[in-house]
Amino acid sequence: MTIDLYAWPTPNAYKISIFLEEAGVPYRVLPVDIGRGDQFAPDFLAISPNNRMPAIVDPEGPGATPISVFESGAILVYLAEKVGQFLPADARSRVRVLEWLFWQMAGVGPMIGQAGHFVRYAPEKIPYAIERYTNEAKRLTQVLDRQLGGHDFVAGDYSIADMAIYPWMHLAAKAYVTLGEYPNVDRWLRALAARPGVARGMAIMQEQRIRRPLTDEERAMLFGKAQLERR
């Protein structure tokens, strides 16, 4: 079983490569260059109708037939159930993991994502938006810091909740929050970074990682009219 992982090097994709590395599941990465518009290709939209990566195709899905999954939270739950790891079967423990997974999906990703948009990409620097989203990044980090007080991991044992939160907190720590203020998050980030599976998951597609300002074409593709064209 080799999972096809449709990805581009951003935190939402690293969640899945971290899982696959940690679980030792064979996979291959199929690049979706979102600055070039690959996310609008009909073949990709057929598996990911929201024109966002990551997405996966498991050639051996339920009933031994292929299945595609989009949305990183859904992918993590699917894979965890498939391999029987990183999502407890016991109802109480499972709820704890799902709470923090959904907290990441609904809060950490969107808010830190918007902080990134207004701090790095918006053509005008809008103080209200920058303050709103960087404050949310700090508030969410504070919530996580409280949760990690006295706990090694976010929700019981190491789980898909940790894997979902890690790449975003790693980014926030570089750009929007001062880790000295959040000692439990700092400790947790270091512990996860030391895991070989996490390190390998974070290292995928190094060569495609964009460390320069976006070009006008990339900007138009990601934030412009391309997003609203009917397909």
Ligand X SMILES: N[C@@H](CCC(=O)N[C@@H](CS)C(=O)NCC(=O)O)C(=O)O
Among 3, 6, 7, 10, interactor with ligand X by CB under 6 A: 10
Tell me which residue of 11, 217, 16 sits closest to 110, measured CA to CA.
Answer: 11
Q: Give the span between the Cα atoms of 179 and 177, in whole angstroms.
A: 6
Number of CB atoms found within 10 A of residue 38's CB: 18
Tell me which residue of 23, 75, 70, 35 sits closest to 49, measured CA to CA.
Answer: 70
By CB under 6 A, is residue 39 in contact with ligand X?
Answer: yes
Identify which of residues 72 and 134 has a Cβ nearer to ligand X in the complex: 72
Edge-to-edge, what's the strand order for the sheet holding 55-58? 27-31, 3-7, 55-58, 67-70
Identify which of residues 98 and 182 has a Cβ nearer to ligand X in the complex: 98
Total number of residues that touch ligand X (CB under 6 A): 12
Encoded one letter per residue, x for contact with ligand X by CB under 6 A and - for no contact, window 19-38 reads ---------------x----
Q: Is the dihedral of CA 202, 38, 79, 170 positive or negative?
A: positive
Least separation in angstroms between residue 10's CB and ligand X is 4
Identify which of residues 136 and 182 has a Cβ nearer to ligand X in the complex: 136
**Residues in region 191-210 near ligand X by CB under 6 A:** none
Binding piece for ligand X, criterion CB under 6 A, among 45-53, 125-133, 138-146, 173-181: 45-53
Identify which of residues 88 and 109 has a Cβ nearer to ligand X in the complex: 109
Q: Give the span between the Cα atoms of 18 and 29, in whole angstroms.
A: 12
Tell me 213's DSSP state: P
Among 6, 7, 9, 12, interactor with ligand X by CB under 6 A: 12
Tell me which residues touch ligand X (CB under 6 A).
Answer: 10, 12, 34, 39, 51-54, 71-72, 109, 222
